[in-house]
Amino acid sequence: MAEMDYDKMVDRLYMGLPDKSKSGERFEMPTAESLVQGSKTIVKNYLQIVKQVNANERHLLKFITKETGTSAGVKEERLYLNRKMGSHQVQKIFEDYIKQFILCPECGKPDTKAVEKSGVKMLKCEACGALSAVKGL
C-alpha cells in the first residue's frame, strides 16, 4: 500500500515537470535598430546585441569596419558608422557575423566561445561540446 502511494507520487512529480530541456529553445536572431543621421549610421542597440549573443565586442567591431569599409566608433550603447547604410544592410552584417562566429556549426546554438588549441583559434560549443575551426576567429 505504501509503495503504491510512492509510485503515484513519483508519477505526479514527473508529469508536473515542464519538459523544456528537450524542446530546445530556438535561437532568436537579434534585430539591429539602425537609423541614418546626416552622413552617419547609428545602431541604437549595438551593445545590447553584443550582450545578447555574448560576442567579443572588439572582434565584432573589426568585422563591421571591414565589411562596411568605413570607420566606426562606440558611444554609450550605440555604434556609429561613418557612412550611410540602410537598415537591411546593417542587419545583414550582424546576421553574417552571428552565423559565422557565434552559432555552433554543429548544433546551431549560440552557446559558443573562442578557445585556442595549439595556437589555432577554435569555436567551442558549450551546448554540444563541438570544437569547430572558424576562419578569422
Where does this chain bind Zn ion (CB under 5 A)? 104, 106-107, 125, 127-128, 130
Beta carbon of residue 75, minimum distance to Zn ion (angstroms, whole number) = 34
Beta carbon of residue 91, minimum distance to Zn ion (angstroms, whole number) = 24
13, 58, 66 from 62: Cα distances, Å: 50, 6, 6
Of 74 and 107, nearer to Zn ion (C-beta) is 107
Of 66 and 99, nearer to Zn ion (C-beta) is 99
Beta carbon of residue 107, minimum distance to Zn ion (angstroms, whole number) = 3
3 state DSSP class of 110: coil
* DSSP string of 124-136, one letter each residue: EETTT--EEE-TT
With beta carbons less than 8 A apart as the criterion, state whether 41 and 93 touch.
no
Total Cβ atoms within 10 A of residue 121: 13
Of 93 and 102, nearer to Zn ion (C-beta) is 102
